[in-house]
Amino acid sequence: DPRQGVIQAWYMDDSDEDQRLPHHKEPKQFVTLKHLDDLGVLSWRLDADNYETDGELKKIREARGYSYMDFCEVCPEKLPNYDEKIKHFFEEHLHTDEEIRYCVAGSGYFDVRDRDDKWIRIWVKKGAMIVLPAGIYHRFTLDSDNYIKAMRLFVGDPVWTPHNRPNDDLAARKAYLANFVNNGTYYNQDLYTIQTILPKDNVIPARYYVKEAAPAPKALKGDEMLKGIFLDVKKKFETALGVLRQEKITIAPEDPAAVQQYANVMKTVREKADLFSESQRIQYTIQTRTQNIQDARTYLLTLKEIRLKRGLSDELGAEAMMFDALDKVEKQLKKPLMRNDNQGMSLLMAEFDKINKKLGINPNDLPKYEEQLELKIAKAQLEELKKETTEAMETQAKKEEFQDEQMVDPKSLDIRNFI
Ligand SMILES: [Fe+2]
């Protein structure tokens, strides 16, 4: 593992000697990187000489939404109030967000508590990037070289507030315990990402409550299968939230760029979470809703209903033309057209081909139409979102206690704050 060259971890002894010393146990008791992973402490080895152009760093920042970045140099000459700060760093604390540090020069110790509340000392050197999860008790100290330069990263606007121990009522702490300490199953990195993108202080994973609920009833036949299905759905849902938490969506249906961005985000959500695209979903809806319909007219009416429910407009007027075509065929047949009437249906299809030609619709361009459809749907969804937010704000404005507050433009809202 290339990380081993720049990150080492071990259990600490109990001595009160200088905090800058390694504090190994006797004999030394090293901790594997896997063990750190299991505690939610993630790490990478990166090219610290080229952090400005490093594609790998860029990828990590994109994947984990680390939009904010600055540097922090810790040494007596560079850090104002050095002594006081150093003391603070070494006080055991937690944060409600991840602590992300990339050591680009020098070295230092991050101490974290393990599941049994024992101190693990993590020595990071140039090239090591580590993420301490929200809610983990930890502290920092320089080593005897007395120097580190670290890149600090953050999702959105940074919050560096340390909450000194004890601070066990914070949701971030509860979530950490629920996910990494108590239940014995540890999230992998991907799931962990989702954990950290959940709302800051007000949401506790359902699992935290589940743990305290009554013992589960004896497993029934098929439970395992059901569990599998639920876990699959949960994973998809969490993956989707993960994407949404990272991407900026602007509620501006009138702005083509915003619509395109929204459509792109939704596409990423679908690809990552393995979900249907809107057009696939419409196809699926059409299939399930129409499979028992016998006659062509009810079939077309159902298509229209689905279209309207989706908020889609028919700018080309294709629908009216399709009904005209059906009228024409039925007049010819002198009876209602049934869908199992192959001959009648081929007449209708021939009429539909004519319509397509007239409107300049080429079946080979289907992927293009699908893309246009996705954009149209994206626009409709943004419009709906705008309507809903505006309505919610209007309702709020009517309440007395909010009367002095100004209504904001939905455009200025950042959905990521609410996920
Ligand atoms: Fe910290």
Rounded to the nearest 5°, which phi and psi values hold at 229? -65, -45
Q: Where are the beta strands (DSSP E) in 287-330?
A: none
How many structural domains comprise the chain?
A: 1
Domain containing residue 134: 2-172
pLDDT of residue 24: 96
Residue 259 lies in a domain: no
Query: Measured in angstroms, how far is the CA atom of residue 212 from the centroid of ligand 1?
Result: 29
What CA–CA distance (Å, rounded) separates 247 from 263?
11
Contacts of 273 (CB under 8 A, 6+ apart): 235, 236, 237, 239, 240, 243
Query: Measured in angstroms, how far is the CA atom of residue 95 from the centroid of ligand 1?
Result: 6
- Parts of the chain with a pLDDT under 70: 183-230, 278, 400-405
Query: Measured in angstroms, how far is the CA atom of residue 99 from the centroid of ligand 1?
Result: 6
pLDDT of residue 223: 59
Query: Measured in angstroms, how far is the CA atom of residue 140 from the centroid of ligand 1?
Result: 7
What CA–CA distance (Å, rounded) separates 319 from 128?
61
Query: Measured in angstroms, how far is the CA atom of residue 105 from the centroid of ligand 1?
Result: 19
Residue 64 lies in a domain: yes
Q: Are 251 and 411 in contact (CB under 8 A)?
A: yes
Residue 391 lies in a domain: no
Peptide bond into 22 cis (omega under 30): no
CA distances for 318 relative to 17, 332, 353, 359, 404, angstroms: 82, 21, 11, 8, 49
pLDDT of residue 403: 67
Q: Are 48 and 149 in contact (CB under 8 A)?
A: no
Strand 138-142 versus strand 119-125 pairing type: unpaired
What CA–CA distance (Å, rounded) separates 344 from 176?
65
Q: Are 170 and 94 in contact (CB under 8 A)?
A: yes
pLDDT of residue 228: 65
- Entry pTM: 0.48
Q: Are 148 and 105 in contact (CB under 8 A)?
A: yes
Residue 24 assigned as binding residue = no
What CA–CA distance (Å, rounded) separates 153 from 51?
13
Residue 93 assigned as binding residue = yes
pLDDT of residue 229: 63
Residue 365 lies in a domain: no
Residue 160 lies in a domain: yes
CATH of the domain at 34: 2.60.120.10
Residue 418 lies in a domain: no
